[in-house]
Structure 1
Amino acid sequence: MSALPAPLQDWFDARGWQMHPHQAAMLDRANAPALMLIAPTGGGKTLAGFLPTLAELGAAPAPGLHTLYVSPLKALAADIKRNLSTPIAEAGLKIRVEDRTGDTPASRKKRQRADPPHILLTTPESLALLTSYEDAPRIFAGLQRVIIDETHALAESKRGDQLMLALARLQTLCPTLRRVGLSATVDDPQAVARLMARHPDPCEILEADPGPDPDISMLVTEEAPPWSGGGAKYAIPAVLEAVKQHRTTLIFHNTRAQAEIFFHNLWLANEDGLPIGIHHGSLDRGQRERVEAAMVAGQLRAIVCTGSLDLGIDWGDVDLVIQVGAPKNVKRLVQRIGRANHRYNAPSKALLVPANRFEVVECVAALEAVRARDLDGEPRGPGPRDVLCQHILIAAAAGPFDADMLFAEMNAAGPYAGLTRAQFDACLDFCATGGYALRAYDQWQRIRQREDGLWELRDPRSAVRIRQNIGTIQDTDTLKVKMRGRGGKPLGDVEEGFAASLTKGDTFLIGGRIVRYEGLREMVVEVSREATRKPKIATFMGTKFATSTQLSSRIVRMFQQDDWPELPDHTADWLRLQRDVSRLPEPGRLLIESFPHDGREQLVVYGFAGRNAMQTLGLLLTKRMEEEGLAPMGFVSTDYATLIWGLDAVTDPRPLFDLERLEEGLEGWLQGNAVMKRTFRASATIAGLIERQVGGQRKTGRQATMSSDILYDTLVKYDPDHLMLQITREEAMRGLVDFARIREMCARVGDRMDLVRLTRVTPLAAPLFLEPGRVPIRGDADDRLIEEEITRLLDESGLAQVDAPARPVWRVPY
């Protein structure tokens, strides 16, 4: 085993510590060109990644940048800096560690370029920016190692694609550069390793002892979950009781709006005055930092949060994680569970709280998957070309480049290993001319080829604008929210569209408090305190997750059991009744139910393809029904089913699922749809066609939307095969409409469709009638009217038998 420098070994010995086997293994493999460590949360994987660096610098310190650490979160970089400072200072090592993110002062950034620290902690965006400078070869001249933390999170997004292109650039500057990936949750280690390594070089994978299984179960509540809704208000008494029994509890939600609602209701029920906080990405940074500091100091008993606290930061003495709502993805659930008892070989403790009846089934399926260590994940396609276009502009900002060499460099990046020269040349031409329809406009002619064959910026001054717009994160168009008055306290952000819907006197939730809208001043939403009225909810976009295909498959397999002893009685009875009056979905088959209700014909398709795909399927099926002479009137979708209502009954569903006709319908729908315009705007911004920052000033969302819509309409009319339209279609198909899941579903079931004609609503279909948009109920009488609607549906479907015991009827979350 490789030895640590004496000062570092003495530091270990003084604490009575010994290296974990995987930490020692990382030290032994310090010279591996590419190495990925998969270790459980709390297993010291970050220290394992840095031990070779500390050993090398401790034994032979030298000026200049030695190790670059890249994480997906600015806060994680700052946390690692604090954690590294302790062993370096106490072992007396002469090692300088600094972080460089969007929050770093410009003066420090300038100094770092002139005099780089030994270890620099940064993010993908800041690294891309560093590679765009003319002095990048000097900055990175001595670079020996790059450590990529939370590799799984970066591998699933365009930020990861951007990072891998930047690493390819660094490898060109530093041919002996060693790459280290760190992750706790990886569903396909080989796939992630291929992305991280320099293509076609291999990447060695080191898996640590996974440690004990987590202590994870479903929260027991006196009241059963409601049939519909996502707030889990019914469980708040039980959640508060669990919080009282633990030191610090993280209460995770899948969306920011759900977190706001839950925090508000939790606060109202918090009669003991327990100190609780809220944390999500739309809150003001100052408020987030105050909550983080209180967590580290152990001053909070509970924090209602979203994915903003998913990743590897050690936030104080957390001993319980509660996931409210079905986790949708087993890998994400495991990551969140790891926040509790953040120590090696200490089991994490977690509780799942289903928000509604169907989520009980999904939560049980997720529990089984966690216990089986069966992680899920979606296969990544080739690296997106909008990121490629941005990288070409970054290369040009750094100085003249040879196209052949840049193409070879991009091919060495894992996500772009399959990039063809024709695809690269199309991106190069786009950066040089803007494409056929735009080549007459100087503003889109960013680069040109010199007589010696090298490519360079057409105007060297444009390098500044390129650097101002580097990045792949597409911010939702938001407006700042502040308390009214001079020096008003900032609260966070809300979407422009939501702000535009407000009139003076409207109330909404932000940061867990109810505020009153007073007006819009200089693009700032001004509010005042209001605690007496029922609020609207700010429409935070955040990330809306779809249930993974692996978890959906596990749910369908659960349906095939003879009975369900692992489910609560109320949910098992529900499934038994579904089997009695209709049937349950089966693997490899498509269950379709048809029945009359409220004077309309209802069609329910149980596709289990995720919310985006099921919404797209509803749109395409209604279009196909119109083509077949049927009369659809509308549809609503969930992760597992699509409900369509209309005038005519469907007697043969097979023609509706003709994949070729469905794809033709999708093409027609996409042409002028807002989905495409929104996707175009995001991709065009990444590719550099649309600038969000000009002269240090950020365009408003309305300005950016107007310019992107005009560009989109122009290209559709005059250049329909334009590169940006190709990219837009690829992105829309992959993300917003998720057509790949529909294609996979059709291929899986073929013509094995089970159309069951019934006389009334079925148990599994009943919750669909309570989805937003299907039962439009408004005003203060919401709860009573929804109770009445649920009771009517239960009576009609026979579900009243399931809930015969005298107890409150299902309470729909506020």
Structure 2
Amino acid sequence: MTVLPQKIQDWFSGNGWSVHPHQQQMLELSKNPCQLLIAPTGGGKTLAGFLPTLAELATGDHRGLHTLYVSPLKALAADIKRNLRTPVDDMGLDIRIEDRTGDTSQTLKKRQRVDPPHILLTTPESLALLCSYEDAPRMFKGLQRVVVDEIHALAESKRGDQLMLALARLNVLCPDLRRVGLSATVEDPKSIAHFLARHPDPCDILQADLGPDPDIQMLVTDEPPPWSGGGAKYAIPAVLDLIKRHKTTLIFHNTRAQAEIFFHNLWLANDESLPVGIHHGSLAREQRNKVEQAMVDGQLRAIVCTGSLDLGIDWGDVDLVVQVGAPKNVKRLVQRIGRANHRYNAPSKAIVIPANRFEVIECKAALEAVKAHTLDGDPKGDGPRDVLCQHILIAACAGPFHADELYTEFTSAGAYANLDRARFDDCLNFCATGGYALRAYDQWQRLKQLPDLRWVLRDPRATRLIRMNIGTIMDTDTLKVRLKNRGGGKPLGEVEEDFAATLTPGDTFLIGGQIVRYEGLREMTVEVTRRADKKPKIASFMGTRFATSTQLSQRLLQILQQQDWPDLPAHTRDWLALQREKSALPHPDRLLVESFSMEDRCYTVVYGFAGRNAQQTLGLLLTQRMEEERLNPLGFVATDYATMIWGLNPVENVAPLFDPKDLRDGLDKWLSGNAVMKRTFKQSAVIAGLITRNTLGHRKSGRQATFSSDILYDTLLKYDPDHVLMQITREEAQRGLVDFGRIEEMIQRIQGRIDHLKLPKVTPFAAPLFLEVGKVPVKGLAEEQLLAQETDRMLALAGIKTT
């Protein structure tokens, strides 16, 4: 057994502690090339990650950088620095600990490259930047270990791919470098271990004792949840009561907009003036710092927040977590639950609040999954090539390179292990010349080959511009909506680019209480005309940006197949029973499609349970197919569970609409006709280095970047449609906003088994879909009385009593 140095043993015993089994395991395996530790929040996993470092530094005379810690959040790096400094000082160890993020001063950054600390805490972006310097070999000389915290969060984004390419570079500089990954929530340990390890090195997987199950319940109030929406305003009195009965409460929401609305309503009802704060990523850094400090000082009774507080900042006084709205993802829920009782072997306490009637069932499914210790997550695909292009330019900044050696380096990163040489060479050619259609322009002639076959930057002065644009985090742009006329029409408001990207000319949607027709996208402006005579074709949906995971959807479908539901509230049981009586309940291995007529319109409802993005895409594709069949569709609305389409003619046979080949062809046709491809192209072009968002002296606005990318996209589409960046764009579009993979999964799951029920009137499950945002253009929609009247009318048609 590995024995800790005496100073560290004394520190443990002085605090009345002993080393946890998983911490001892990390010590025993610390000489191996890779370890993945999965330990519950509060289980000492951060200390487990650093314990071998402290032991080695306490007994040796190491000079320079020994351990690199990488976190997805700057705030988490600062928190770890504070928490690590205390035991190091208590032990009397002569160890320098510093952090390096975008907030670090330029003076300290320069000093760190010349005289690095023993332990450096940083982010993926800062590490990629460090790898771009020609003196990187000197800075990283002697580096022994890399600790990647919250690795599950990084593995889900391009930031993780960027990090692994940076670690591949570090392994070239330091062949004996050891890697450590830490996480509390990993659904597929083998997949994450493959992602973390240097290919083909093995990775040890250590699973700590999970501790007691969380104390987690669903809130059941006297007033039932509304039939649609995501605000959970009905639960405000109950939440205030929970805040009063606990020391500190975290109230999680799925979107920033929902958090703002809930905080506003909570504050209006807060008659006792309890100290309550709000925290999310759109707030100014100063305001977030103020809220975080107030939490540390114990000055707040509750904080309304979003994913900005998902990850492991250690606030030990939090004794309750409230999740407002269905979590959509079990792994996210477990992560958030862990914020309460941040102590080992102490059960976390959490309350889940469904925002609407469908979410009651989803919350029940999520609670069952948590108790069964089954997490969800989609398999990680191959590494994206726009990130690969960026790292070719980063390598060039650091000095000349051989293509063969760089290819070997990149394929040592797990996500890029399957990268073939031809696809790598396409990226290299793009970085060198811009590709066939752009090679005539000097600005994209960035690399040249020396007589010894090494590649170098054509102009060394380009290093500064490349470094200024390192990173994969994209700003979320909003687009102004204006009436179209010669002089620039009246502004009507703004929509998120995600929504605008789904529109094709002729689509109608609701904004500011009026219906408008989409005419086109001009730079960063959505141009529209008024269409008061037509219902909105596409509902501009609000609410969660998360889609219900595949695994959670399957569990939800299984609940629907139960004979009765003793664990559900009476109002939900009655609703499910009525749906079974009037129609049918969706089945895991079949597709339920309902058709009915109402008020001179024909409705078709597809219960795909494929997540909001996929159901939205399904609506676009099905209406396109229905137009081809002359069924005259007028519009649709989509939720996580269903897509409802309305039109002039009934659909007699739905099976042909779900032909996989036709859906795939329809997707390609649809993508070529709207802004999804242009939006995706812009993001990939920025990451790959074709478009520079940050320029010397100023940062390009979203308008400027879009204008540049639109011209480039149109040029490549016309003259070089198989350009590598066009290939990347198609790959990214299909697995991003469109989520076509979930539609293909649904088609594969049902194997042509479709239950098409032609019914005399609206069904209990379909009724709430009429109340989705944008579907019912009631004048003064915000007036609760009008909305309540519309709700009662729709549900009465479905045979549902509302009193």
Matched residue, 2:731: 730
Matched residue, 2:425: 425
Q: Is the 8 A contact 1:256 1:540 kept in 2?
A: no
How far apart are the structure 1 equivalents of 2:31 and 2:497?
52
Does residue 15 of structure 2 align to residue 15 of structure 1?
yes
Q: Is the 8 A contact 1:292 1:315 kept in 2?
A: no
After TM superposition, list the pairs within 5 Å mapping 1:372-771 onto structure 2.
372-477=372-477, 544-771=545-772
How far apart are the structure 2 equivalents of 1:543 and 1:140?
42
Q: Residue deviations 1:164-217, cap 9 Å, x none?
A: 000000000000000001000000000000010011111010000000000000
What SS does the corresponding residue of 1:166 show, helix, strand or coil?
helix
After TM superposition, list the pairs within 5 Å mapping 1:107-186 onto structure 2.
107-186=107-186
Q: Is the 8 A contact 2:781 2:787 kept in 1?
A: no
How far apart are the structure 1 equivalents of 2:29 and 2:722?
49
**TM-score between the two structures when normalised by the length of structure 1:** 0.91
Matched residue, 1:203: 203
Q: CA deviation at 1:777?
A: 2.6
Q: CA deviation at 1:785?
A: 1.3
Q: Residue deviations 1:748-785, cap 9 Å, x none?
A: 11221000011111001111101112112342762111
Q: Is the 8 A contact 1:185 1:334 kept in 2?
A: yes
How far apart are the structure 2 equivalents of 1:543 and 1:75?
25
After TM superposition, list the pairs within 5 Å mapping 1:174-323 onto structure 2.
174-323=174-323
Matched residue, 1:514: none
Q: CA deviation at 1:478?
A: 7.0
How far apart are the structure 1 equivalents of 2:608 and 2:495?
32
How far apart are the structure 1 equivalents of 2:778 and 2:709?
36
How far apart are the structure 2 equivalents of 1:471 and 1:296?
30
Q: Residue deviations 1:664-709, cap 9 Å, x none?
A: 1111111141111111111100000000000041111111111111
Q: Is the 8 A contact 2:465 2:696 kept in 1?
A: yes
Q: Residue deviations 1:611-634, cap 9 Å, x none?
A: 010000000001111112211110
Q: Is the 8 A contact 1:257 1:540 kept in 2?
A: no
Q: Residue deviations 1:562-601, cap 9 Å, x none?
A: 0000100000100000000000000110000000012100
- Which structure 2 residue ranges, 5 or more long, are not aligned? 480-493, 501-511, 513-523, 525-539
Tell me the C-alpha RMSD between the 2 structures.
Answer: 1.8
Does residue 2 of structure 2 align to residue 2 of structure 1?
yes
Structure 1 residue runs of 4+, over 3 Å off? 494-498, 539-543
Q: CA deviation at 1:54?
A: 0.2
Distance 1:48 1:418, change over 3 A: same
Q: Is the 8 A contact 2:256 2:280 kept in 1?
A: yes
Q: CA deviation at 1:556?
A: 0.5
Letter in 1 for 2:286: G
Q: CA deviation at 1:496?
A: 8.8
Q: Is the 8 A contact 1:298 1:316 kept in 2?
A: no
How far apart are the structure 2 equivalents of 1:357 and 1:747?
29
Letter in 2 for 1:302: A
What SS does the corresponding residue of 2:618 show, helix, strand or coil?
helix
How far apart are the structure 2 equivalents of 1:342 and 1:358?
32
What SS does the corresponding residue of 1:799 show, helix, strand or coil?
coil
Distance 1:367 1:311, change over 3 A: same
Matched residue, 2:531: none
Q: Is the 8 A contact 2:140 2:173 kept in 1?
A: yes
Q: Residue deviations 1:508-560, cap 9 Å, x none?
A: 9xxxxxxxxxxxxxx9xxxxxxxxxxxxxxx9999810000000000101111
Matched residue, 1:335: 335
How far apart are the structure 2 equivalents of 1:389 and 1:298?
46
Q: Is the 8 A contact 1:250 1:303 kept in 2?
A: yes
How far apart are the structure 1 equivalents of 2:61 and 2:10?
18
How far apart are the structure 1 equivalents of 2:110 and 2:436?
40
Letter in 2 for 1:784: Q
Q: Is the 8 A contact 2:165 2:413 kept in 1?
A: yes
How far apart are the structure 2 equivalents of 1:496 and 1:369?
33
Matched residue, 1:810: none
How far apart are the structure 1 equivalents of 2:747 and 2:336?
33
How far apart are the structure 1 equivalents of 2:643 and 2:114?
59
Distance 1:741 1:252, change over 3 A: same
What SS does the corresponding residue of 2:475 show, helix, strand or coil?
coil
Distance 1:495 1:747, change over 3 A: closer
Q: Residue deviations 1:471-512, cap 9 Å, x none?
A: 000012379xxxxxxxxxxxxxx98989x9xxxxxxx9xxxx
How far apart are the structure 2 equivalents of 1:542 and 1:430?
39
Q: CA deviation at 1:722?
A: 0.9
Q: Residue deviations 1:718-748, cap 9 Å, x none?
A: 1111111111111110011011111111111
Matched residue, 1:513: none
Q: Is the 8 A contact 1:389 1:688 kept in 2?
A: yes
Distance 1:145 1:543, change over 3 A: farther
Q: Is the 8 A contact 2:316 2:343 kept in 1?
A: no
How far apart are the structure 2 equivalents of 1:543 and 1:551?
15
Q: Is the 8 A contact 1:402 1:454 kept in 2?
A: yes
Q: Is the 8 A contact 1:195 1:414 kept in 2?
A: yes
Q: Is the 8 A contact 2:476 2:497 kept in 1?
A: no
Distance 1:781 1:10, change over 3 A: closer
How far apart are the structure 1 equivalents of 2:442 and 2:637?
47
Matched residue, 1:527: none
Letter in 2 for 1:117: P
Q: Residue deviations 1:82-138, cap 9 Å, x none?
A: 001011111110000000000100100000001000000000000000000000000
How far apart are the structure 2 equivalents of 1:678 and 1:163?
24
Letter in 1 for 2:361: V
Q: Is the 8 A contact 1:220 1:238 kept in 2?
A: no
What SS does the corresponding residue of 2:10 show, helix, strand or coil?
helix
How far apart are the structure 2 equivalents of 1:540 and 1:7?
59
How far apart are the structure 1 equivalents of 2:458 and 2:478?
34
Letter in 1 for 2:667: L
Q: Is the 8 A contact 2:250 2:304 kept in 1?
A: yes
Letter in 1 for 2:383: G
Does residue 87 of structure 2 align to residue 102 of structure 1?
no
Q: Is the 8 A contact 2:635 2:645 kept in 1?
A: yes
What SS does the corresponding residue of 1:448 show, helix, strand or coil?
strand
Distance 1:780 1:431, change over 3 A: closer
Q: Residue deviations 1:322-343, cap 9 Å, x none?
A: 0000000000000000000000
How far apart are the structure 2 equivalents of 1:153 and 1:466?
26
Letter in 1 for 2:794: L
After TM superposition, list the pairs within 5 Å mapping 1:74-89 onto structure 2.
74-89=74-89
**TM-score between the two structures when normalised by the length of structure 2:** 0.92
What SS does the corresponding residue of 2:138 show, helix, strand or coil?
helix
Q: CA deviation at 1:79?
A: 0.4
How far apart are the structure 1 equivalents of 2:342 and 2:168?
34
Matched residue, 2:533: none
Matched residue, 1:809: none
